[in-house]
Structure 1
């Protein structure tokens, strides 16, 4: 098989467009189309449905795509084995949360680029939070992603623990509970909440904590940027219960420890056989512990 054709097919699968795929692999669109068609003939299967709505993987394409990625990763490993002193090449696609100040992502990506200038780094968020990021890794749309849910909540991926953080309540100044040394979920259940959308790790963890205590709550404001939620609290739109490391205190708010002992996990996830570039990126991540399948 022509490895260029494999790379073209993977690019089309990722971009859902022959035009965008051609730009990514620095080829003309006709070459990408011809290369994918040649690969389909060699495999004896149609990999993509093409119509007015765009480009989608067929069932055969879904089955073949992981093997194409594995083949390209194997080529990268072979190049490294043949020239261990040569520079690492390839690409790593990183899925992130917005505004997570605890992890200085720009500095981390900058350090990675300085060490491995021949590796292309792409950083992407997910509108559906941790669940969407994990799904993107499983389907090969991302190579490594932050994951704000417990390691036990995901299967089929390698999970690396980065850190944990207790939750804290963020209340408006002047709230009747604002002067307390700590507060319990049961005391907050009747409040209006501002929170991230369903699917975000902090939201899922907190929803589960309420449910296990037989409590229900109302989320009246949903915002994808977790770090901005205290601003909505300061504006009088509700209260928030957030991981301590996910936000900075704001004027007009009071931050109280949560007495229930609810803890948020921040992990990194990757597929079972990460590429050399993915492993190199993971090596730069902080770690407070890992599952037996630790990336490093």
Structure 2
């Protein structure tokens, strides 16, 4: 058993889905399945109960999950401590990000923790679209970018997945689609849509999903702000499609007009991904300051 196998196991355990875990880890699904089988063989029994839509723990898997997370956290802690000993006393960290990282990554809080740990490092942050950010990493103007990964990443760039989740329809609480399950994209073509601008990764993903089915939709509202997008849906002016975590956060927010969600059938459901992109291998940034930031991001926040 090694740390890589534990990382694979934890990814499947957290995603409860082999396909999403494989995307998160930048692995082919067959390779991930083989890694889990080897771990199960080594430990003497199954760790997951597999079904067509999700996986669940066996009793052994549930015990291992708690222990594996502790081992991986300890390994990251040790690496971070060594990084601090090695210095990083001076330098610069240039980070790029798409809009709307929350609730997936709390970038401001993590930057605050990084400043506290490495006070001599200047921090520069840029917000932009996915394509521009990836180009800036490739050209060396950014050390690290949080963005939707490219379908065909340029040579010399690696990435670490931070989120991989389905997208849902958001509409007003009184809308006819509220609470519906297993909708086809064709069921939405007569609706009025609110969308983000074309440079947003979420917009491009939705556009590709409709195009793949040979469908067109009516976009009457085009904005550059996720809260505005959701508010348009809340007011019954349009429907929209956003990542499930974004929709869930808005459903829980009681300060504005109530919203509802509807799910798409699995075969047509877009999968939204968020990754940290950097120069280096798939698992390791070349720039030490980028490695230090990613290690810190994976550590649990300390309560104050």
Confirm or deny a common fold (TM above 0.5): yes
Matched, 1:107 2:106: no
Q: What are the residue-to-residue correspondences of 1:34-45 with 2, within 5 Å?
A: none
Q: Which runs of 4+ in 1 moved over 3 A?
A: 83-88
Q: Are residues 218 and 142 of structure 1, via their aligned partners in 2, closer, same or farther at CA, if it must alter by over 3 Å?
A: farther
Equivalence for 1:91:
92
How far did 1:173 drift?
2.5
Distance 1:162 1:109 in 2: 16
How far did 1:84 drift?
5.6
2:279–2:287 Cα contact (<8 Å) kept: no
Please provide the CA RMSD for this pair: 2.4
Which stretches in structure 2 are left out of the alignment for 5+ residues? Answer: 1-83, 252-256, 300-304
Distance 1:240 1:124 in 2: 27
Distance 1:222 1:84 in 2: 49
Equivalence for 1:215:
215
2:175–2:236 Cα contact (<8 Å) kept: no
TM-score, normalization by structure 2:
0.61
How far did 1:218 drift?
2.5
TM-score, normalization by structure 1:
0.62
Query: Secondary structure, in 3 states, of the residue corresponding to 1:131?
Result: helix
Query: Secondary structure, in 3 states, of the residue corresponding to 1:107?
Result: helix
Q: What are the residue-to-residue correspondences of 1:121-136 with 2, within 5 Å?
A: 121-126=123-128, 129-136=129-136
Equivalence for 2:290:
278
Equivalence for 1:232:
232
Matched, 1:246 2:246: yes
Distance 1:118 1:94 in 2: 16
Equivalence for 2:144:
144
Distance 2:98 2:227 in 1: 10
Q: Identify the match of residue 255 of structure 1 among 250, 254, 261.
A: 261
Which stretches in structure 1 are left out of the alignment for 5+ residues? Answer: 1-82, 288-296
Larger Rg: 1
How far did 1:123 drift?
1.5
Distance 2:116 2:140 in 1: 25
Moved more, 217-226 or 185-194: 217-226
1:136–1:142 Cα contact (<8 Å) kept: yes
Distance 2:286 2:220 in 1: 40
Query: Secondary structure, in 3 states, of the residue corresponding to 1:111?
Result: helix
- Post-superposition CA distance 1:258-286 (Å, at most 9, x none): 22332111111112363211221122334
Distance 1:238 1:255 in 2: 13
How far did 1:245 drift?
2.2
Equivalence for 2:30:
none
How far did 1:134 drift?
1.2
- Post-superposition CA distance 1:148-192 (Å, at most 9, x none): 24x533323212111111101001222222242342211112222
Query: Secondary structure, in 3 states, of the residue corresponding to 1:249?
Result: helix
